[in-house]
Structure 1
Amino acid sequence: MKLTSSFRVPAPPDQVFAHFLDPDSMRVCVPGCEELERPDPAHYRGRLVNEIAHVRFSAGFTADITEAAEVTAGQPAHVRAVLRGEDRRLGSSIKVDARLGVRPAPDPSASDVDWDLEIALWGKLGRLGESIVGRRSREVERQFVERFTAVCAAGPPGPGNPEVRSHAAAPVPVPAAATAAAPRAEAAPVARRPRPAPAVSLGAAGAATVVASRRGPVTAVPEIVPVPAVRARPAARVRAGLAAARTTAADLGGRAAERAAEWVAVRATRFLDRRRARVAGDRRRARVAGTDDGGAR
């Protein structure tokens, strides 16, 4: 399946291209991207969690940049990459051949972005159909364009970008002064749980069990009486055994009948073959005898 798209971003081309190569910006902009890191300039790895037609997948993926050219002297920039991912739980895998281009727009403060994606899916995701995957891909593309436009308009990539910083999940530190000033709470005494006296059963089904406590009133708790398992009657067991025996006998009888029919067919075929051979021999001998008698006459 092949997807193409183009859109305009209110930022210069060099800044837009830098956002595409920045893992923090892409983690914020790609819907469902939970992890993304760049161990070296040409390789990325991460995890993508998304849903297509109520099928939720979580795929670890790698992206390898095969070709890249930055913006120089007003010339467009482009990058080519191959992305591979796999969800072992679903038995599905994905491969994406991507080409991205960034060129200057007529407005010097804007850029035009275009891309081509060739997507191949295998497994359960691949069986969903091109129309379903294409529709979900267009929804993801719309969300990506909105987020990426906001991130590029906010400034260059890096920790100072307000859009990237607002989406980053960072724990809120607790000030040291506030921690020192806070009074130390005294440990509350642990209340000992009263030890109940041995239960006294009245011994009748549906009666009450009296639980006495040294620090509380007497409480009546309904007694749980186990229900004995229902045993099958001998007549029912005999009927079940006879039914199983009849089934087995019918199965064996059917097999015996099949073998007997095969034996009769084989014997009959052999008898007919021998009969035909005997009749043919008699006719041949009769013709020979008739010729010899005619010659004698």
Structure 2
Amino acid sequence: MELTETHTLPVPQQQTWDALNDTEILRACIPGCESIDPDGENAYLVALSATVGPVKARFKGRMQLTDIDAPNTYTIVFEGQGGAAGFAKGNARVNLEADGDAATKLSYTANAQVGGKLAQIGSRLVDGAARKIAGEFFKRFSAQFSADSDAQAPAPGDLSAAADGTPVQAESNQAEDGESGGEDNKGKKSWTAWISKF
């Protein structure tokens, strides 16, 4: 099986690289992942559950990062056993390329071999499941960055974001500065509107 895809992520290259090397982020993004634990330098023990066609199994395996050229590329070498379901092993070459100042183009080529029941159900089902898992991973991976930016930057006009219960700073400045009666009234009006919500 060979899988080649490209995704554009809404964050700079270095931030993408850091996230790809953060086991907590990976655990949250890999569908069915139960744990990722360090196992030596640039190596990890992984446990995950996956469904491929009629076969559902819990896999335990190991992945090793090789050919590391931070923050541009690395190769993931992996192997896993799923008991009666069979096994999977292979590698994936991951490349990062800056796409402007605030985005990164991530491309990868993965090659894998499967055995046991996984091999018996046919390459079409295995390929389809692999693409679905990869698609879900990148959907969650991109959402991690969206969640981070939402948490760090409250939406404009979000009065509830003020820690001490006061309205947004721009409004209080207008009321305090009193540059004009209209501005002063505007500040009072929005303060009244804000209080009336409670």
1:97 and 2:91 are equivalent in the alignment: yes
Paired AA for residue 14 in structure 1: Q
TM-score by structure 1 length?
0.49
**Which secondary structure state, in structure 2, belongs to the residue aligned with residue 11 of structure 1?**
coil
Q: In structure 1, what is the Cα distance between the partners aligned to 2:122 and 2:58?
A: 19
Counterpart position of 1:54: 54
Paired AA for residue 33 in structure 2: C
1:58-207 correspondence runs (5 A) = 58-71=58-71, 77-90=72-85, 92-105=86-99, 107-155=100-148
1:20 and 2:15 are equivalent in the alignment: no
Paired AA for residue 110 in structure 2: L
The 3 A distance-change label for structure 1 pair 152 and 67 is farther
**Deviation sequence 1:97-123 (CA, Å, 0-9, x none):** 111011100x31111000010010011
Once the two structures are TM-superposed, the CA of residue 41 in structure 1 deviates from its matched residue by 3.6
TM-score by structure 2 length?
0.72
1:275-294 correspondence runs (5 A) = none
Q: Unpaired runs of 5+ in structure 1?
A: 72-76, 163-297
**Which secondary structure state, in structure 2, belongs to the residue aligned with residue 131 of structure 1?**
helix
Paired AA for residue 88 in structure 2: I
The 3 A distance-change label for structure 1 pair 102 and 83 is same
Q: In structure 1, what is the Cα distance between the partners aligned to 2:7 and 2:61?
A: 26
Paired AA for residue 81 in structure 2: E
**Deviation sequence 1:38-57 (CA, Å, 0-9, x none):** 23341011201010112101
Give aligned pairs, total: 151
Identical aligned pairs, as a percentage? 23
**Which secondary structure state, in structure 2, belongs to the residue aligned with residue 125 of structure 1?**
helix
Q: Is the 1:12–1:110 contact (alpha carbons within 8 Å) kept by the matching residues of 2?
A: yes
Q: In structure 1, what is the Cα distance between the partners aligned to 2:83 and 2:50?
A: 15
Q: In structure 2, what is the Cα distance between the partners aligned to 1:44 and 1:51?
A: 22
Q: In structure 2, what is the Cα distance between the partners aligned to 1:33 and 1:95?
A: 17
Q: Is the 2:94–2:109 contact (alpha carbons within 8 Å) kept by the matching residues of 1?
A: yes
Q: Unpaired runs of 5+ in structure 2?
A: 152-198
**Deviation sequence 1:226-246 (CA, Å, 0-9, x none):** xxxxxxxxxxxxxxxxxxxxx
**Which secondary structure state, in structure 1, belongs to the residue aligned with residue 142 of structure 2?**
helix
Query: Which one has a bigger Cα radius of gyration?
Result: 1
